[in-house]
Homo-oligomer: A and B are copies of this chain.
Amino acid sequence: MNQKEVVCRQKLMTTRDTMDVIQGKWRIPIIIALTFGDKRFGEIQRDIVDISPKMLSQELKALEMNKIISRTLYDSMPVTVEYSLTPLGLSMKPLVDEILNWGIRFRKETVRK
């Protein structure tokens, strides 16, 4: 196994780590919603119009477990819960920006049917 192959396989492993975190239909949308500020369950649901409460709840838990977001319970008198990006979550900004950038480029190249 030569040098190139070693580098190639390391890259493959590293990208798999990232992809495991952002994989799926809802994780990136949730992260983006939270870049606009801390939000409550219902607010995120209103931003991501087609997500069901089940999926939102499930994906919020997964992101919390990966330390991307944090959950804060406020004992106010209708009890509210706020979700916010952790430092690790905030560190995804360049990645999310690139996903966005490339999406714009892709759309440009694809509009000529």
Which residues of chain A have a CB within 8 Å of any CB of chain B?
A: 4-5, 8-9, 11-12, 14-19, 21, 23, 25, 28-29, 32-33, 36, 47-49, 67, 88, 91-92, 94-96, 98-107, 109-110
Is there contact, CB below 8 Å, between A12 and B29? yes
Q: Which residues of B contact A102 (CB under 8 A)?
A: 18, 91-92, 94-95
B100 touches A98 (CB 8 A): no
Distance between Cα atoms of A16 and B73 in the complex (Å) = 30
Task: Check if B14 sits within 8 Å of A47, measured CB to CB.
Answer: no
The answer to whether A95 and B98 have CB atoms under 8 Å apart is: yes
Q: A5-B47, A106-B88, A109-B67 are in contact. Are A11 and B95 (CB under 8 A)?
A: no
